[in-house]
Amino acid sequence: MKPIYFVAMLLWSANLYAQRPKKDTVITINEVVITENGFNTPISKQNRNVYVIDKAMIAKLPARTLQEVLQYANGVDLRQRGPMGGQADVSIDGGSFEQTVVLLNGTKIIDAHTAHNMLNLPIPVEAIERIEVVRGPAARIYGINSLTGAINIITKKPSKSGFLVDAHGGSNFEKDTEGTGKTFYNQGLQLGAVLSKQKHQHSVFGSHDKSNGYRFNTQFENTRLMYQGHIQIDSANEIMTSFGYTKNTFGANGFYAAPADRNSTETVQTTIAALQSKHTLSDRWVLIPRLSYRYNFDDYRYFGKVNPNAGVSKHNTNSFAAELTSSYKLERGELGFGAELRSENINSSNIGKHNRENVGIYTQYRTDLLKNLNVNLGTYINYNSAYKWQVYPGLDASYALNDIFKIVGNIGTSQRLPSFTDLYLNQRPGNIGNPDVSPESAFQTEGGLKALKGNFTFNANVLYRKINRFIDWTRAVVTDPWQANNVGTMVTKGFNVRSGYGLELSGVSKFNFEMAYSYLNSDFEDMDQGLAYKYQLSSLKHQVTNTIDYKYANFSVLFATRLNQRIMGPSYWINDFRISQTIKKLTLYADAQNIFDTQYFEIGAIPLPSRWLSLGVKFVSF
C-alpha cells in the first residue's frame, strides 16, 4: 500500500468526525467491560491495545462461523486451508499460529498437539457476546503461549427464553471437473433453544454443515453441539458451566505436503468442558475458580481418497487445567493474584506417547499514581516439567490528557512452548519434529493514542517486538522433509490505526463506518540463507480492514473489504457483503463473499474459494 493511500484514509476518518452536524444524535451504548484475571476494566479505561468485535457487528457480518468472523478483525491473520469454518490458523500482528492463545470466557482452550486445530470449536456465532482481541505480550495476564496476544471469546448470558432455527445454502456455480462433475455447493442447518429464569439460564445449540467443496477433494461435513448454563445461587455466588463437541471431516488437498497430498483426508473431533464460579467474599474480595478439559482426536490419511488404510496418522490429546483467580481492592489500587495447574498428554501413531505438566503463578497490581496516570504491573512465574522455571514480567500504563484523548503504553515479556508436533512428529517423507527445540521467548513494547468522543473512536499504536529462538519448519532441499528448528531472532516493527464512526440519520436510520490499517516489518537475524522456511516469510506486511453498514428500520446492508499483503507474495483484495431484512422474528439474508472473484492464497499453494453466493433464513424468538 502506498503511503498516500494510508494518509488519505486517516484524513477521511478525521474529516467525517470534523464535519459531524451539530444536530447529530449521539449513539449511547453500554460500555464493554474487559475481564483480565479478576480485573474488570471498562474498555475506555484499558491501558492495552484491545480490539472488540461485539454481538451487533457479528450479526451484521457475512459470517456463520467463528473463523469467518475473525477474518475481519484487524491485526488478526486468519489463514484458512478450508472454506466456511474449515481448518484455519490464527495469529496476531505477524506472529506464528502457535504464538496466540485462545480462551473461552477466560479459560484457555489450548491443544498441545498442534495449533492447527486451535479453532476447531463448537461455538456458534449466535452464542457469542463479543470477541476480545488483546494485542501484544499477554503472558502477565494469560500465561503460557500468549506470546503475541490473546483472543478471548465471551458468550452470552440469556435474558429471554425462546428458540432458533437457521437454514442456509449456497454455491459458486462451478463444477468439480476433476472429480464428481457435480456443481459445488454448501448447506447447513442450526437449531438452538434458550431457557431463562430468574436464578438460572440455559442454552443449547446444534448445527450440521455440509459441502462438496470448491475444488477437487475439499469437501467437508461438520457437526457441532454446545451447552451453556448459568446458576445464581445468591447475590454473591454464581456458577457457569459449558460443554461442547464438534466433529469435522474434510478433504485435505494440499494442506500439509502439496502437491503429493492431493488425496489426503482428515477428521478432527474436539470435546471441551468447563466449570467456573464467582464468589464475592466481601466488598473488596472476589474469588473465581475454574476447571477445564479439552480432548482432541485427529485422524489424518495421506491417501485417504484412494486408499484409506495407507499413510494413516492418529493423534489423541488431553488437556486438564485448574485455575484460581482472585482480586482484592486495597485502599489505593487493586491486587490480582492466582495460580494455574495444567496437565497435557498425547498418544499418537507418529508422535508417540508424551506428557508434561505446567504450573503458573501470577500477580498484578494496578493503581492511579496521579490523577490521570494509571499503571498496571505484574508478573507470571511459570514452571514446566520439560523446561523448568521461567519468569515473565510486564507493565501497562495510561495517561488521560483530557476527557477525549489518552496516551497508553505497555512493555512486557512472553513465551511459547513447543507443541508435541514440533518436538516429536515422525511423518516422513513430509515432516519430522525435533526434540531439541527450545521455547520461544519475546520482548515487546507498544505505545499509542486513544480518542473517544460520542460516536467517534480512534486508536493508533506503534510496536516493537523481538522473538528469540523463533521456531519454524525448514529444509535445505526440496526432497528433504520439513523439520522444526529454532531458526534465530525475529524483530518486528510496525504500527496500526483503527477508527470508527456512527451516525444516526433519523430514529430508524443509522450509518456505521469502521476502518483499520496495520503495517509490519519483520527482519530475521541469524537466518540461514541456504534453508527454505515454511512460515516466517508469509506473515502480513500490510493489512486493511473496512466495514460500512447502513440500517433502515429492519433492513440492513453491510459491505466489508480486506486487503492482505504478505512479506512474500502478491497483495489481494477480498470484498464481501450481506443484505438482510427482518420481519418480526424472521430474518432473510443473502451473503456474497469474494464478490470480485479474486484468486488468492493464504497458506502455501492452496487456492481459496472463488465468488460464493448464499441465501439463508433465520427465526429467532429470544
DSSP string, 7-47: HHHHHHHHHHHHT--TTPBPPP-PPPEEEETTEEEEGGG--
pLDDT band at 81 (very low <50, low <70, confident <90, very high): confident
Q: What is the pLDDT of residue 47?
A: 78
Q: What is the pLDDT of residue 111?
A: 87
Q: How many residues does the chain have?
A: 622
556-599 residue pLDDT tens: 999 999 999 988 878 899 999 999 999 999 999 999 999 999 99
Residue 160, pLDDT above cutoff 80: yes
Residue 69, pLDDT above cutoff 50: yes
Mean pLDDT of all residues in 111-128: 91
pLDDT band at 539 (very low <50, low <70, confident <90, very high): confident
Mean pLDDT of all residues in 380-408: 93
Residue 88, pLDDT above cutoff 80: yes
Domains of the chain: 3-620 (2.40.170.20)
Is the full-model pTM beyond 0.85? yes
Residue 337, pLDDT above cutoff 60: yes
Q: What is the pLDDT of residue 9?
A: 39
Q: What is the pLDDT of residue 42?
A: 63
Q: What is the pLDDT of residue 34?
A: 65
Mention every residue, 6+ apart, whose C-beta is less than 8 A from residue 518: 74, 75, 93, 494, 495, 496, 497, 540, 542, 543
More confident residue, 4 or 480: 480
C-alpha cell at 120: 476447531
Residue 145, pLDDT above cutoff 90: no
Listed range (46-50, 402-406, 607-611) with the worst mean pLDDT:
46-50
6-42 residue pLDDT tens: 333 333 333 333 333 333 333 334 566 666 666 666 6
Q: Is residue 5 within a helix (H) or strand (E), and if so which, with residue range?
A: helix 3-18
Mean pLDDT of all residues in 157-166: 95
Euclidean distance between the first and the last CA atom of the chain, given in angstroms as a whole number: 44
Residue 103, pLDDT above cutoff 90: yes
Mean pLDDT of all residues in 74-101: 86
Residue 393, pLDDT above cutoff 90: yes
Mean pLDDT, all residues of the chain: 89
pLDDT band at 43 (very low <50, low <70, confident <90, very high): low
